[in-house]
Structure formats: structure tokens, C-alpha cells
A and B are shown apart, each in its own frame.
Chain A
Amino acid sequence: MSTLDKRMSSAEIVGRLESGMTLGIGGWGPRRKPMALVREILRSDLKDLTIVSYGGPDVGMLCAAGKVKKLVFAFVSLDAIPLEPWFRKAREAGAIEVLELDEGMFQWGLKAAAFQLPFLPTRVGLGTDLVELGGLKTVQSPYDDGEVMVAMPALKLDAALIHVQRCDHRGNVQALGPDTYYDEWFAKAADQCFVSCEELVPAMEDAFPDDVRANLFERCFVTGVTEAKGGAHPTSLPPDYGWDMGWFKKYAAAAKDPGDWASVAAQFVGASEADYLASVGGMEAVGALPLPVF
């Protein structure tokens, strides 16, 4: 049956997605976002999406373009620009439904989905507005303690999108950099997981055997892989490149003036990925972006 050749183009990946789907997007705020795949969605007709994300510009752009029906989030931020301007506009216009979660209970929801459980119990959310506003239920421990906890529902994803340094054609992935966030749980919570990479290598065991500990999750969780150099831009991909502050500033300014996404979308998305990469100075410019210092 399967040839284990999982190579696809970005357009083929987005062609596997459908309007109304629930999509998980890996990365964290302005870090290691699969932006090439997000841009491909922005170039497509997909709509009515439920987006599950530790949100950065992925969420802001999808909201601005009217692609989002519902957002599952714990924050949306560009970090150095704390409040994501296009996400704020969508929220303050009442344009999207939301399920607001805590960062940790969000991870619990992905793990429940990954483990094929309906929910996982947690104390997180008790004493806050999240439980009632999110329609979350409670569950009682069946043991002697009888503790009442929040039942964090599984965040089952139709598809997950992730960006890493390297893939091979069979779906072996390697992500370098100090932190990989919750990408493994997005992959395992999803029916299909699509991974874009800076470099598609022939066979991981021959190409980079010494970096095998950078393998985030097993290839059985990978549906398709695609090469997308600079695919995290404008977000960071340590140690390859930092985030693009100049880009973020322009993007944030455009939310105020002209404030209309349709008139600026081409500038931030591009007609094609090659077109986009050229517009930001090519890989030479992307590779020169300094890593952020915290």
C-alpha cells in the first residue's frame, strides 16, 4: 500500500484541507510557526476554520482574512509587540467565536485527543471565568478523595501544521533549537499532520544520524512533508533565524492604517511562496535575522 513517500507540495497539502475543519497550528506566539503553510491557506478558498493555536501572526492573519469561525487559544501575541493587532480587531468586532483556555489545560486537551480519551481532569480553570464561558464541565474523582475537577475536553484536530528544520520523504522529522513547544501533541492529536521543513533530505539516517534526538515524533504521525525554505518567516526558527521585527512593525502599523486587510494582504502573503520570499529579501535576508535575546 503506502510507498512511504510523503512528499507533497504546499498546494497539495492545502488541497487536503476542507472548509469547516479544525486545524492545529504548532509553534508558540512568534516562534516556529508553519507560516508557509498558513500563507498557502491564505491564498486558498478555505473558510469557516476552527483554529487551535498558541497564537502569533498565524492567528492574526487568518482572522484578518476572514478564514476563522472559531479560535481555541490561551493567548495571541507577537511577544515584542505584546498584543496581536489583527486578532484584537477581529475580537473587538465580535467576528469570531472563541474558546479561551489556560496554556497548560490547552496542552491537556491535545493530550486527551492524542490518547483517544474524551477528556483529562485538571484543577486548572477552577475559580476563573474560563469554565463557565467555555462551557466546560466538571468531573468527580471516583476514589475516596471525591475531588471535583474540570474535565478538559479533548482537542481533536482534523489536521495539524508544523514547521521544522529537516524532514525525509518518509516523515522522519528533526527540529533543532532550544524548545519545540507542544508540536508533538499537535501531531498526535490530529487525524492528519503536515510538516513543512527548511530542508528535505534523502534519508534521515544517512543525512543527520547524529541529530536523531531532535526527532520530535514518530513518522506514523506524519501524513505529508514539504520543503519550504524560510517557511517560518516572519516568526523565528532558532538556530537558523530570528523573528523579523521590521516585518512585525509594518504588519502592526497596517492594522491601524489603512486597517483593511484586503488592501495589504498581498504585501504580507504574496502571490506565491517564491514571490513572498523574494519580497522579504530572499533566504539571504531571512538567514541574517538575529536570534532574539531574552
Chain B
Amino acid sequence: MATLAELCIAAVAEAFRTDRELVGTGIGPIPRLGVGLAKLTHSPGLMMTDGEAFLVEQPVPIGPRAYDDRKAAGYLPFSRFFDSAVWSGRRHAMVTPTQVDRFGQTNLSALGGTHAQPKTQMLGARGFPGNGIYHANSMFIPAHGPRVFVAGEVDRVSSPGYNPARRIAGGNYSAIDLKRIVTNLCVMDFGGPDHAVRVISLHPGVTFADVEAATGFPLIDAVAGETALPTEEQLAIIARLDPHGIRHSVLADNPPAIRSAS
């Protein structure tokens, strides 16, 4: 039977469904496997890197392998990445921020304290500000809870969202495009009034009340049904892209896709 991690990978692949030619970037095992799955099934226009500087048409399996087990079809080092994929809007990234708020603003910079002396320093804004203003973004949150989905605003706004209070007159915010949030409980989007966050599918055995209780801001119930279980074909592709089973270590206790009644 499929695991919850595999169900999430299939949901990630759905988030990346596109008829465009653009770079799909999944940071972390489940997002990356999801992009690979999308590319090999419904969205062949997706472009992917080997995780380093080369574009590959066959997604590179994750985990240990010989360094040169990759066949490059193109070249996308960092310098070209900004010019070709970010500034041109030809990219969709899925990331895992530390905090997310109801506006879709994220934080990867620091928690608490002041800017001069944060209580907890994290990575820094990385490419989030540019990604957020130039191209589509989605999120994967492996442990859905109120410390991630915070009440109010995130402690530091690393990437822009749909917060009208953060708009300056004359600025161009038209490319802000938050697609989906895949978590260990559900799939959400920003399709409510004024881009409010909606729950659009619940993973098997999860209730809307479970998700509400784990979220620090109000959610809209737009649940259309259960998140689809991965098919046998999808599971075979996932196994091929993750031969060492790294996906099994992402979610606590590696639960099955269908949650048993508690």
C-alpha cells in the first residue's frame, strides 16, 4: 500500500501540472520527486536540473549514485538560472519555508527578537524575494501545525504574498502566483476571496476540523474530496526516482497514505 509520502509526491506532481515549458524546482526529496513525476507523466514540457548546473530530460534519481550518472541536455548554472528562469518567469518552485501566514508570505530568515539580534537565525532570505515577485511558487510542509501556519504575519517577510498592506503604489505585483500548499494533512490553494487560503482536498482519514486545529489562521472549506492515492504507474516511477527510499524518512514514522481512524 502507498505511504503518505507517496501520496504527497503525487499531490506535488498535480501542483506542477502545466502545458508550459518552464523549470520545475522542487527543493527537498518530496517536492523534487513530485516534479520528476509530473515531468514523466502529464507535463513533459517541464524542465529540471540535476540538482546542480545541468538540465536533464530524464530526472536524476535522488540519493547516492556515481557522480556522473546523469545525461545533460542543457546547461543552467546559477548565473543563467536568474537570467533564464527567474527574471523571465519561466519557473515554478516548491519550497519549505519555516513560517507561512494567511497572505502566503513566508519566512526563511529569522524567528523572534529583532533584526539586529534575532532570537533564532535561520538561512537568510535566499532567493525567496525574487522568486516570489517573478514566478509561480508552491509549498510543501511536512508537519502541518500552527508554528508553521502562524496567526498574524510571519516574523520576517522573506517572500511576498497577497498582503495589501505590503503593497507600495506603482509597484508591479502582477507575477505573484502562489499555486498550492501540500502538507501531511491536505492540499490547499489561494483561491478564496482576496486570495484567502482554501483547503481543496483532505488526505484520506483527515477531517477539515483536523486541519483547522493545526492552522493559526482561518481556512475556507472548499474540499472537493480526498487527495488522490497514487496509481501503480505513479508508484513505479516514484520508486525508480528514489531507489534508496529517501522518501520514507521525510514524514515522522512514515505513515500509510490512508490514516486509520483514531
Contacts and interface: CB of A to CB of B under 8 A. Distances in A.
Contact of B158 (A76, A129, A179): A129
B52 A178 contact: yes
Nearest to A125: B129
Contacts of B123: 75-77, 82-83
A128 B160 contact: yes
Interface in B90-140: 105, 109-110, 113-130, 132-134
Contacts of B67: 290-291, 293
B82 interface: yes
Contact of B127 (A94, A104, A149, A179): A104
A138 B170 CA distance: 10
Contacts of B120: 88, 92
Interface in B46-103: 50-54, 60, 63-65, 67, 77-79, 82, 86-87
A149 B67 CA distance: 42
B109 A100 contact: yes
Contact of A294 (B50, B113, B114, B119): B50
Contacts of A129: 109, 115, 156-158
Given A124-B134, A127-B163, A179-B78, A92 B129 contact: no
Contact of B124 (A76, A94, A126): A76
Contact of B77 (A91, A101, A124, A178): A178
A76 B123 CA distance: 6
Nearest to B32: A294
Interface stretch (A140-148, A155-163, A197-205): A140-148
B130 A102 contact: yes
A241 to B, nearest CB: 12
A147 B160 CA distance: 18
A225 B87 CA distance: 35
Contacts of B60: 294
A147 B174 CA distance: 12
Interface in A140-187: 140, 146-149, 178-182, 184
A222 to B, nearest CB: 19
Given A100-B125, A178-B77, A127 B132 contact: yes
A55 B159 CA distance: 20
A124 B171 contact: no
Contacts, number: 152
B110 A91 contact: yes
B156 A126 contact: no
Given A126-B171, A128-B160, A182-B78, A94 B116 contact: yes
Contacts of B133: 123-127
Contacts of B63: 293
B240 interface: no
Given A102-B127, A146-B170, A126 B54 contact: no
A138 B159 CA distance: 18
Contact of A123 (B105, B115, B171): B171
Contacts of B161: 127
A105 interface: yes
A133 interface: yes
A104 B121 contact: no
A272 to B, nearest CB: 32
B128 to A, nearest CB: 7
Contacts of A180: 77, 79
B119 A130 contact: no
B33 to A, nearest CB: 14
16 contacts: A75-B126, A92-B121, A127-B132, A128-B125, A128-B160, A129-B109, A129-B157, A130-B125, A146-B170, A148-B169, A149-B171, A178-B77, A179-B52, A181-B77, A293-B63, A293-B65
> Which 10 residue pairs across A and B have the least CB separation, nearest first?
A127-B160, A294-B51, A94-B117, A148-B170, A75-B124, A91-B121, A102-B129, A178-B53, A104-B130, A179-B77
Interface of A: 28, 55, 73-77, 82-83, 87-88, 91-94, 97-98, 100-105, 107, 122-130, 133, 138, 140, 146-149, 178-182, 184, 290-291, 293-294
